[in-house]
Amino acid sequence: MCPALVVALLWLSGTGPDMVSRVSVIESAMPPMIGAAVVASQANLAPRLVSMMVGLGIPLGLCTAPAWFWLFSAFGR
């Protein structure tokens, strides 16, 4: 959802697929932070949920980040 929002904002602002906008799309598609998950688990904030989100988010992010990059590059031409 977040990469779609970033792509929409860049498209509405008229920004083409330059290096900064491509990096913005890739960064918004990155999986959840492992460091934040460790801190949340140590604070006992639903450790099973936190580990599940990281365990699912990393593989999904690795699959979807290149797709968002390609999609943004294709629409920017």
Statement: residue 76 has pLDDT above 60: no
For residue 31, what are the CA distances in angstroms to 37, 42, 53? 12, 20, 9
Task: List alpha helices for the chain, DSSP H.
Answer: 2-12, 19-28, 34-42, 47-75
**pLDDT tens per residue, range 29-52:** 777 677 778 888 788 888 888 888
| Per-residue pLDDT at 43 | 87
pTM summary value: 0.57
| Per-residue pLDDT at 56 | 87
| Per-residue pLDDT at 54 | 85
Statement: residue 77 has pLDDT above 60: no
Q: What tokens appear for 39 in the block?
A: 């801190």
**Residue 37 · residue 11 · CB < 8 Å:** no
| Per-residue pLDDT at 75 | 66
Identity of the amino acid at 16: G
